[in-house]
Every structure is written in structure tokens, then in C-alpha cells.
């Protein structure tokens, strides 16, 4: 059974023709009536009537122009609605939604609250108000009130679930997110949020099922394909991730996040030219620091320092408050031998954040290249005072400290520092070798051999270690020959 569209017209000889003839008839009637009035009135009266008519036409013309101004933009239309119907909750809610989309959160909050004053049972206004408030307790209250009014409000379930997720209330969050999907099976964000939460808990099979269900129900969601790609990379299936990143880009050709993720994936696979291509495609969409940064890292790690320098300078100019970008720029400057600028930039970062471990490590390297070993040693001591939790990081710091002490010929202290390094990380081959070298210099050949051999177990192809052991062999042979000669 078919039904006619409410906007359709029938060609029956009456409908559409009447629509055009009626306004024409009114016009003829108006002119005829005006003519009759003019003949009835005297000359002065006719003039007055004409003037009045002209003024009336001008008034309506002005009114039409002013009304047209209201339709110039969505904002003027919404604002007009609020001015015309200030006691209507719906117009305040619609205007608040517009303001929220524009990022004008304070104004949006005002109009959401006004809508709620006029209609306290507006669940969507409560939900949206919760997304804008910075106070988590207040946001939670708004979401809960929305759900009391509308228990199947999938957006409120989603938002409350994410809030509880951030508060480490994982199981409650999972329940709410599942309900959000139940009542909104085409809500792609809910699938992504639930799957990522399950993956955090290492419930990978469940996460996989959620992602696949999401893609089945929301096949056109580019974000969902991108997020599934990230999950596949993290769970050890990078080859499968490629297809989903590419699908995200097909669905949304300006999806620069998927492009960057695809670039990172190719970078991890050692396909640097493909990685560079995708980074550059992302930059054609948006010239952002978060896109420039991985491209700069690619250039830096492949020895293309001039290009890395240009990229990091641009990224740091776009986000001057981001410490990591300025630190990366300082590292490139140091590698390129521009020590003064690198030192100045790194010292400035330290003045802003005294707990910057990597800053002290970089300063130590800069001072070491300048042969300012006292300053280099001081920087490493400051890094150690921060007490990093990763034992391998602490091991590296003790190793670097040992190098600076050795440069100052403080061999006993250097040895102790290397010893602390291998205690934290026994695989630190260079520290074992340096300990052997110190014992070698001091004439403790038996100890030196033991340390060299331990290092050789870790790096069996080291020519330097083999040469040092050969030197020990020759020295010990000479000593043996001297002893035998003395005995005779």
C-alpha cells in the first residue's frame, strides 16, 4: 500500500491553480477597492489615503528586511527564538545545543539551566549540562537525574559510564556502557568506549567481540574503524589494522588521526617511506603539532636532522607550551652541534618544571660534549634525586654518571657507579666492559677478565671486548714470563 507524500499536489485542475489565483484575486480586489475609495473621497482625502498606503508599505518592507536578518545565520535564528519566546524551554535548549557546538560553554550552561528551570524534567538538558561542567561530582548528579527521568537515555548512560571509568569504577562503568549500547545500538562511541575499557582489563576476547558488533551495527563510523585498528595493533595484529585504518580514511577522507596511526604502523614495520607518505597526507588535512611530531621523530631517527629541525620548530611554534616538543627540538639542536641554543632551551624547560628527568639527561649530554664534566655530573645527580621508578632508567643514569666520573679520572667512584648500574640492569653490557677497563688500568687483570667475559656474554660479536681480552692475554703472558725469569 502506498501513501501520498504530504507535500505532493494533485493535477486535478483545482489544487495548484487555486494556489496561484487566490493571491492574484486578492490583489485585484485590493486595487479595485482602493480605486473606489479614491473616487469617493475628495482630492485631499485621496492624497492622504495614498500617503498612508505608501507609509504602510514602507513599514511592512522595513519589517520584512528586519525579519530576513533573523534568517542570516543559525545563531540569529536561535537567538530570535529565545527573545521571542523567553519562557519556552525548548528554544533555550536548542540555543544551548548550538552554543555547545560552537565551544561557547558558559553561555550554553546558562541556557541549559534556563531550560531546566522552565521544564525540570528535560533529561537531555541534564545530560548535556553534565558534559559541560568541570566538577565531576556535579556532572555525576546531572547524569543520574537524567537517568531517573529517562532510564533508557543512552547518551546519559554513556557519559556516566565514562565518568565512572575515569574514577576507576570499572565494573559499574562496563554495566552502564553495555546499557548504552542496548538502548542505542547505532551509537558508535559507546562500542569504542566499552571495548577500550575491556582491553584495559586484558579482557581481549570480549573487547574484540564488542568492536566487531560495533562495526556490524555502525559500518559507516570512521572513528570506530580507527579505534579498532589501534586495538588490533596493541593486541599484536598490525596487518589486520591496516585495513581498518584505510576504511576509516575511505569513510572520512579528512580523518588525519587514522592517517597518523597508519603512518605509525608503517614506521613500526620499518617501512619509513610509507610512514612519511601518510604523515604528509595527514598534514595536508591539518597542520597540527600532533602530526608534525611523529614526522619529526622519523626524520630524527633516520639521520635527516635538517628536516627534523624544521618540523620540530614548526610544531613548537604551534604549541609552545608543550614540553615534549621543545625538548625534542633541543635534542635535534644538540645533535646538530648548536649547543648554546640547545642548552638555553633545555634550561628554560627546567626552570618551568624542575621534575623534568629527560631535561637533566639532555643537559648532561650537552655539558659532556662541551667537556664541562662537573656540570654534566651535577645534572645527572639532579636526575637521580628525582628517584625515577623504572630500574632501567636509574641504571642508565648511574651508567652516565660513571662515564662523567671516569672522564675526571675518578676511577674508584666511576667503578661504584657502574656497579650500581649493573645491579639494577644486569644486561648493561657497556657498564660491565667499563668496569673491566677500570680494573685493567689498575692492574687487577683477573677481575678485569671476569668483567670483560661477562660483557662478552651479552655482546659476543664485540671486537673491542675481544681486543681487550687479547691485551690481557698478552699482559698476563709477559707477567708470567717475568715471574719465570725472576725465579731462574
Helix/strand/coil (H/E/C) assignment for every residue in the chain: CCCCCCCCCCCCCCHHHHHHHHHHHHHHHHHHHHHHHHHHCCHHHHHHHHHHHHHHHHHHHHHHHHHHHHCCCHHHHHHHHHHHCCCCHHHHHHHHHHHHHCCCHHHHHHHHHHHHHHCCCCHHHHHHHHHHCCCHHHHHHHHHHHHHHCCCCHHHHHHHHHHHHHCCCHHHHHHHHHHHHHHCCCCHHHHHHHHHHHHHCCCHHHHHHHHHHHHHHCCCCHHHHHHHHHHHHHCCCHHHHHHHHHHHHHHCCCCHHHHHHHHHHHHHCCCHHHHHHHHHHHHHHCCCHHHHHHHHHHHHHCCCHHHHHHHHHHHHHHCCCCHHHHHHHHHHHHHCCCHHHHHHHHHHHHHHCCCCHHHHHHHHHHHHHCCCHHHHHHHHHHHHHCCCCCHHHHHHHHHHHHHHHHHCCCHHHHHHHHHHHHHHCCCCHHHHHHHHHHHHHCCCHHHHHHHHHHHHHHCCCCHHHHHHHHHHHHHHHHHHHHHHHHHC
**CA 387 distance to own-chain centroid:** 29
Q: Residue 14's pLDDT is what?
A: 32
Which residues, given as ranges, of the chain have pLDDT below 70?
1-27, 29-72, 484, 486-488
| Nearest CA-CA partner of 130 in 90, 100, 160, 95 | 160
| Nearest CA-CA partner of 411 in 382, 371, 440 | 440
Domain ranges of the chain: 220-300, 356-426, 439-488
Give the CA-trace dihedral at 472, 475, 477, 481, to 10 degrees.
Answer: -160
Homologous superfamily (CATH) for 356-426: Tetratricopeptide repeat domain (1.25.40.10)
Here the contacts of 238-247 (C-beta below 8 Å, separation 24 or greater) are 238/265, 238/268, 238/269, 241/265, 247/222
Here the contacts of 393-397 (C-beta below 8 Å, separation 24 or greater) are 393/357, 394/424, 395/420, 395/421, 395/422, 395/424, 395/425, 395/428, 395/431, 396/421, 396/425, 397/361
Q: Residue 277's pLDDT is what?
A: 97
Global confidence as pTM: 0.75
| Nearest CA-CA partner of 268 in 289, 246, 250, 294 | 294
Q: How far apart are alpha carbons 379 and 343 in whole angstroms?
A: 12
How far lies 376's CA from each of 324, 335, 362, in Å? 21, 16, 9
Maximum Cα–Cα distance across the chain: 157
Q: Residue 150's pLDDT is what?
A: 94
Q: Residue 77's pLDDT is what?
A: 75
Q: Decide: 305 and 336 in contact? Cβ < 8 Å.
A: yes
| Nearest CA-CA partner of 83 in 95, 100, 101 | 95
Name which CATH class applies to 220-300. mainly alpha
Residue 191 CB contacts under 8 Å (≥ 6 apart), including other chains = 181, 210, 211, 213, 214, 217, 218, 224
Domains 220-300 and 356-426 share a fold: yes
Evaluated on CA atoms 6, 7, 12, 14, the torsion sign reads positive
Q: Residue 20's pLDDT is what?
A: 43
Q: Residue 37's pLDDT is what?
A: 59
Q: How far apart are alpha carbons 161 and 139 in whole angstroms?
A: 12
Amino acid at each position: 500500500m502506498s501513501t501520498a507524500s504530504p507535500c505532493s499536489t494533485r493535477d486535478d485542475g483545482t489544487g495548484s491553480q487555486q494556489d496561484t489565483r487566490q493571491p492574484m484575486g486578492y490583489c485585484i480586489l485590493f486595487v479595485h477597492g482602493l480605486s473606489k475609495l479614491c473616487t469617493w473621497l475628495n482630492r485631499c482625502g485621496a492624497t492622504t489615503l495614498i500617503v498612508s498606503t505608501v507609509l504602510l508599505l514602507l513599514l511592512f518592507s522595513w519589517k520584512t528586511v528586519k525579519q530576513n536578518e533573523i534568517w542570516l545565520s543559525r545563531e540569529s535564528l536561535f537567538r530570535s527564538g529565545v527573545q521571542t519566546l523567553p519562557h519556552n524551554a525548548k528554544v533555550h535548549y536548542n540555543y544551548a545545543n548550538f552554543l555547545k557546538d560552537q565551544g561557547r560553554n558558559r553561555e550554553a550552561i546558562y541556557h541549559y539551566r534556563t531550560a531546566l528551570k522552565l521544564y525540570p524534567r528535560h533529561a537531555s538538558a541534564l545530560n548535556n549540562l553534565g558534559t559541560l561542567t568541570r566538577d565531576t561530582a556535579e556532572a555525576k548528579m546531572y547524569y543520574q537525574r537524567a537517568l531517573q527521568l529517562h532510564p533508557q537515555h543512552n547518551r546519559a548512560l554513556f557519559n556516566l559510564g565514562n565518568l565512572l571509568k575515569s574514577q576507576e569504577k570499572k565494573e559499574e562503568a562496563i554495566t552502564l556502557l553495555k546499557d548504552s549500547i542496548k538502548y542505542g545500538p547505532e551509537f558508535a562511541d559507546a562500542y569504542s568506549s566499552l571495548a577500550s575499557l575491556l582491553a584495559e582489563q586484558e579482557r581481549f576476547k570480549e573487547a574484540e567481540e564488542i568492536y566487531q558488533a560495533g562495526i556490524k551495527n555502525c559500518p559507516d563510523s570512521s572513528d570506530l574503524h580507527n579505534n579498532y585498528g589501534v586495538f588490533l595493533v596493541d593486541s599484536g595484529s598490525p596487518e589486520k589494522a591496516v585495513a581498518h585504518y584505510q576504511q576509516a580514511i575511505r569513510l572520512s577522507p579528512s580523518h588525519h588521526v587514522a592517517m597518523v596511526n597508519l603512518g605509525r604502523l608503517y614506521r613500526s614495520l620499518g617501512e619509513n617511506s610509507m610512514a612519511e607518505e601518510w604523515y604528509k597526507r595527514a598534514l595536508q588535512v591539518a597542520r597540527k603539532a600532533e602530526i608534525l611530531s611523529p614526522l619529526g621523530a622519523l626524520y630524527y631517527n633516520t639521520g635527516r636532522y635538517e628536516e627534523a629541525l624544521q618540523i620540530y620548530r614548526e610544531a613548537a611554534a604551534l604549541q609552545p607550551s608543550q614540553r615534549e616538543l621543545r625538548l625534542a627540538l633541543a635534542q635535534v639542536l644538540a645533535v646538530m652541534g648548536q649547543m648554546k641554543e640547545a642548552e638555553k632551551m633545555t634550561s628554560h624547560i627546567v626552570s618551568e618544571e624542575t621534575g623534568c628527568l629527560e631535561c637533566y639527561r639532555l643537559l648532561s649530554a650537552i655539558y659532556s660534549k662541551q667537556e664541562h664534566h662537573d656540570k654534566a655530573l651535577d645534572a645527572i645527580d639532579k636526575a637521580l634525586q628525582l628517584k625515577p621508578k623504572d630500574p632501567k632508567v636509574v641504571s642508565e643514569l648511574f651508567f652516565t654518571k660513571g662515564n662523567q666520573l671516569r672522564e675526571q679520572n675518578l676511577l674508584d667512584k666511576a667503578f661504584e657507579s657502574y656497579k650500581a648500574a649493573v645491579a639494577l640492569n644486569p644486561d648493561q653490557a657497556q657498564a660491565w666492559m667499563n668496569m673491566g677497563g677500570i680494573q685493567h688500568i689498575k692492574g687487577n687483570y683477573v677481575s678485569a677478565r671476569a668483567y670483560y667475559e661477562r660483557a662478552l656474554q651479552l655482546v659476543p660479536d664485540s671486537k673491542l671486548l675481544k681486543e681487550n681480552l687479547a691485551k690481557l692475554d698478552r699482559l698476563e703472558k709477559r707477567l708470567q714470563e717475568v715471574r719465570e725469569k725472576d725465579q731462574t
